[in-house]
Structure 1
């Protein structure tokens, strides 16, 4: 990759408590040189340039490593009525991103201190080393942009032990502090050169656009970012510095990564937390920025937001009480105790009686993951459960500010209004947060948090077969189910037989087994939500039985019409099976395999001639009971030479005939008679346009007149068949009719089954 080095010395970075002058050592911009050695969080401030009252910008500028940025300005009460866009250069690819909008409509603080700055929402951009910024006032307005506009870059560093184990080699040196000027103010200017690959910066608003350096100071006094309630605010809505006791919750506490776990630097927010009287509602947020982050980076994103809120905006601490990433990991936000009603700074006018949960990412057009929704629901249910509140219900909140929300609803300080227990940022303040897609998912969060378990249904029953609306089993079965409520919010499942619990599983289970006594039963699944609410699936009718099916007709072979070969003859396999409850299927096991439905009673097959073959069939019922029947049959070919002749017959030879020979006669009343012991017979002939008719006699009785004529010549054709109910001795006689003009009969023999 391209190597870059900064040669500038003496550049100025605007810090919260003064000016920091730094020198930059030559360093490699190679993306592989990310390093996993621990390094602290750093914040870099670069002043925006411009002389026009309606535009400020920073040209493409090389910077030290950062992953999050935003813009800020002097005076927390001032609003930036316009747009702010940024482009960043990836340290990995060296490519510049497209322009990205910064969210400017950030909630003001209820009681901002003198050090608090106005600021956009921070934007996570991933590891970057270059930035370009443009801020433009809203079209049609004439007011100037706020003073002190700067872009603030946050390097979340490598702080936790888990991060040091990540892959990567080498370490890129950051800017180091060369000299500090405690007496300097944020309005100081510098005449130093800009970075080598950017145009020189023009000072504006009393600040200079400069290359980055580490901010190593914090405001002299960290301001409180939430003020006291107005005189009309109820006493229950007041915040207190006294640490209250943590009430137990009606549901379990979810796993939460503590501040130490994500690497919070407690030294930058020394002020003690404040506490509310309780938690009446939960406000859901998104942090904005990319959704294309690795969950391994989530701790650093939280750390970046913390640094931005404190060191850029000048807040006392991170604003959110909890943060959730797309993998569902929950992070402790504002300090003071996750189990306590800590006063946050997340929803202007409503912080006094609520807690705030923010999802990392932007959910304006993208839905939040199921893992995120589940974690929001778990945290909300747990916090509200500490105060006996139903997550699906509503509550009365007292407004701490006069304002309108995103939908145009007006609120007046000191008045009470109805809110859902789980609401969105936009319900309380005029912002798009948490995005339209996540807002549409709030009903799902409420139902998951409140219970009962949603969409519980049995999907299948192992060890049982379904016939109509009834399952049949020999006794042992496994019931499988699904539910849309995440398993982390489910306490247990219970398998019910005839209304009684026969098995209990964990909330992560999707099946349970039981053995039923013989007879009819009802089977259902009950889900127990972590709240204790239960829901039961539709009951299934299940019959336990062990009676096997029966073959009322033993599988039998009968000859059928078709082409006969010396190795195979056409036959029909017939059977009939029944069951006392419900027959499921019949399978042919040998000499080949096939499966037949319960109403099928025959199948056309071929059988090997001259060999005894076992035809094994098995009948199954829906419970899995079965019975097997395996009779054996032998098809036998009797050549024409085996018949008793009368009249004149001529021997013909051809490979097309069975055995290579046949008898042919056109003499009226010439006959052939075969005698055999069997249960089915077929007369085999050759057919042609000149073929005539023959009479067929069975056991001395004429039974048929058969016309052998065919428009095309056919050999070895079983043209006539006869089957008896049992095997016995029979005679079959054919007699030439002597049909006018086509008297000839050519016979290949007789086939019978014994």
Structure 2
């Protein structure tokens, strides 16, 4: 219910605005039934645009002008135009608008005035203008203009506000369809009023999505060459009144270089680089009825000029077709051009749109760089790039279009060419041009190189080096990133034979024709420019592996070489795995062991893995590891050595740890039995008698003495096979039980006797033993 009331109020407001517009002197170029200021859904066929012009009232002395805040029919783009295309507004042109969505008024926004209305070579009836500013769906506007505060700086005659509703075309929905259906079903109730101080609009306005043309004004005193119209002087004389008609057209005169545009479409030459995806005029909804004149053609394209359209950069890319349609309508109906000025437009998401009709693959004469249109093509980036740089998607798309178009005429995107000036003037850097004289330009130039304008914006102009490099090549940043199927040691890879080489490049893959995998300088695999890896099978030996990238221009780049050694020799175990008892706390379920080994490889050892009874992985320089094993259980310890090529070797060792408690020993002297759950088996022997002894006989390869320890514990002598080998002190700052504190190992298993004798150390004579552990 609330939605219906809102739509009804909008109908009343818009209808009232239409009536008010008639009283205020609004010139309606073309009203379209059911149009909204945004796309409400995809539709096929052209989109009819609604362009309205409202005269601005000059203040005293002609140094200011204004249009009071008012309701309007829906629109999404606006600009201010005036009669004389050579006249300049030296002060500020500011607007603010009311959003359809929220009903809020925007802050005051300045419109760029450094534009050129004479870029349409040989055509009369064009108008001077500000930038066309995309403001999004709006239904209210206010304008204020001043000449800059100088008494002598008068505003040009015929000032008017032009608003553009792009109509519904091939675009994503941006407004509920119900709102579009509730718009007034026809032109304003009152016929458009005629304003004596307003220049008549240039014919009916039916608008498809078209890019914006930002054309800076020619320098003061510029003298057009033959074929360049001489604009009328700017004064305050009101233009004659009369019916709204299309402006007369003047055929283009001969170019000073002797080359005149052709009316017959020339053949479409093939290009040395692939054509990028381009949204056709039908694709963005161009209404061809508003620009019925046939396109004109050049002999070829020697340079590409990059522009920005100015205006907002905060649009969504779903709005791009509507922006292009609006620009198209503004160029044709507001500025009086025959068609949209640019040959191509690019939005901030990198979508490329066909601009001026005649065939994207043909050298269509555009209206984008005054004085140099007849040997060049124009690419405009939608938005303003004075301070903010263009996204990578933009520079990539511009480079693709420029490379393809120049490639049709054997141009070099990184090179220079000579262009003949079609009019006198100067550029942004103060360089003067004389009509009929040849001048050197980069084949990818900025608008400011050929005209006194800030276009394409300082930030985007600074990115033209990147654009040239992308378009011209070679591929940059090419490097091998991985060699799968091989192990890396330092800077050398090792493999048995088969590898997959991965790479990366900083150049976008759309500019890369192919990759080749090179082994010792010879290609062994070729992939598309979108690939990032390729496989190869290597013969035994040492190889240099590289990747070569071919840019669309034909230039090649080869990566640094990776050394890859193919070998199939297995690792070895110079020291087979071995087991020995170690110090530590003994439990029946966990007897401390040390596993030892030594592995080697003729090329490069990678690792050694323990696979049983537990899984562990050790580095190539590790030769031992601490483990535990269950007492009385025979265990096999299996190991596998790997080299970096993937070759392997296996080895193993078996062992059984056995606990012999003190009760299994032969006693001499006095020993006292002690009981505690902390002892092995719950019991131990203790003695403080000097010379008391215990001896154990076993067959094994390693042995450990187990005892209880405390701060008052004494010492024992240790004899092995009748020979004294050590004096072991059982003293410990902390109490310990079942502590293996002395060990001895042999290279092989044999029968041995271990005997301990009490030393009866002064002040701490007592020792407590818990038996021995041996490994068989």
When normalised by structure 1's length, the TM-score is 0.89
Please list the CA deviations of residues 346-375 of structure 1 after superposition, one character each: whole Å capped at 9, or x if unmatched: 112221211111112222233222222222
Residues 259 and 331 in structure 1, CA contact (< 8 A), matched pair in contact too: yes
Structure 2 CA distance for partners of 1:279 and 1:572, relative to 1, 3 Å: same
Task: Report whether the alignment pairs 1:41 with 2:63.
Answer: no
> 1:660 is matched with which residue?
682
Match of 1:567 in 2: 589
1:176 pairs with one of 171, 177, 186:
186
Secondary structure of the corresponding residue to residue 389 of structure 2 = coil
Give yes or no for contact 1:566–1:659 (8 Å, CA) kept in 2. Answer: no
Task: Give 1:458's aligned residue.
Answer: 480
Residue of structure 1 equivalent to 2:162: 152
Structure 1 position 85, deviation (Å): 2.5
Structure 2: how far apart are the matches of 1:695 and 1:571?
24
Which SS does the other structure have where 2:52 is aligned? strand
Quick one: which of 29, 49, 55 aligns to 2:64?
55
> Shift of residue 18 of structure 1?
6.0
Asked if residue 221 in structure 1 is aligned to residue 239 in structure 2, the reply is no
Distance 1:17 1:613 in 2: 100
Matched, 1:626 2:648: yes
Question: For 2:738 and 2:466, how far apart are their aligned partners in 1?
Answer: 73
Structure 1 residues 625 and 13: alpha-carbon distance in aligned structure 2, compared to 1, 3 A threshold: farther
Deviates more, 1:314-323 or 1:104-113: 104-113
| Counterpart position of 1:500 | 522
Partner deviation per Cα, 1:422-470 (whole Å, 9 max, x = no partner)? 1111222222222222222211211121122222111111111112222
When normalised by structure 2's length, the TM-score is: 0.86
Query: In structure 2, how many angstroms separate the alpha carbons of the residues matched to 1:167 and 1:646?
Result: 105
Deviates more, 1:4-13 or 1:114-123: 4-13
Provide the residue aligned with 1:542 in structure 2: 564
Give the gaps of 5 or more residues in structure 1: 190-204, 208-216
Q: Which secondary structure does the structure 1 equivalent of 2:169 belong to?
A: coil
Cα distance in 1 for residues equivalent to 2:471 and 2:662: 87
SS of aligned partner of 2:365: coil
Please give the per-residue CA displacement for 1:498-518, whole angstroms capped at 9, x wherever unaligned. Answer: 222211111111111111122
The residue aligned with 1:747 is 769
Single out whichever of 642-651 and 58-67 deviates more from structure 2. Answer: 58-67
CA distance in 2, matches of 1:494, 1:19: 61
2:124 pairs with 1:85: no
Distance in 2 between the 1:350 and 1:15 partners? 41
**Structure 1 residue 141: deviation in Å?**
5.6
Give the secondary structure class of the aligned counterpart of 1:616.
Answer: strand
3-state SS, counterpart of residue 469 of structure 2 = helix
* Structure 2 match to 1:68: 77
Q: Structure 2: which 5+ runs fail to align? A: 200-235
Q: What whole-Å deviation, never above 9, does each CA across 1:528-585 have from its counterpart, x for those lacking one? A: 1222222211222111122221222223332222222332233222211111110112
Equivalence for 2:624: 602
Does the Cα contact within 8 Å between 2:25 and 2:55 map onto a contact in 1? no
Corresponding residue for 1:138? 148
User: What's 1:732 paired with?
Assistant: 754
Alignment partner of 2:403: what SS? Answer: helix
Name the CA shift for 1:36/1:379 in 2 (closer, same or farther; >3 Å): closer
Superposition RMSD in Å: 3.1
Matched residue, 2:431: 409
Whether the 8 Å CA contact 1:553–1:577 is kept in 2: the answer is yes
Residue number among 305, 311, 318 corresponding to 2:327 in the alignment: 305
Q: 1:707 to 1:424 in 2, by over 3 A?
A: same
Residues of 2 paired with 1:115 and 1:17: CA distance?
A: 20
CA distance, structure 2, for counterparts of residue 183 and residue 101 of structure 1: 28
Partner of 2:412: 390
Q: Alpha-carbon deviation of 1:153?
A: 1.7
1:319 aligned residue: 341
My pick for the range that moved more, 561-570 or 449-458, is 561-570
1:105 corresponds to 2:108: no
Conserved 8 A contact 1:15-1:45: no
> Is contact 1:222–1:271 with CA below 8 Å preserved after alignment?
no
Question: Is this contact kept in 2: 1:88–1:131, CA < 8 A?
Answer: yes
Any idea what SS the aligned residue of 1:132 has? strand
Give the equivalent residue in structure 1 for 2:456: 434
The 3 A distance-change label for structure 1 pair 59 and 312 is same
Equivalent-residue separation in structure 1 for 2:369 and 2:654 (angstroms): 85
Residues 122 and 18 (structure 1 numbering): CA distance in 2 closer, same or farther, change over 3 Å?
A: closer
Change over 3 Å in CA distance of 1:473–1:614 after alignment to 2:
same
Question: Does the aligned pair in 2 maintain the 1:109–1:227 contact within 8 Å?
Answer: no
> What secondary structure does 1:615 align onto?
strand
- Equivalents in 2 of 1:734, 1:684: separation in Å? 11
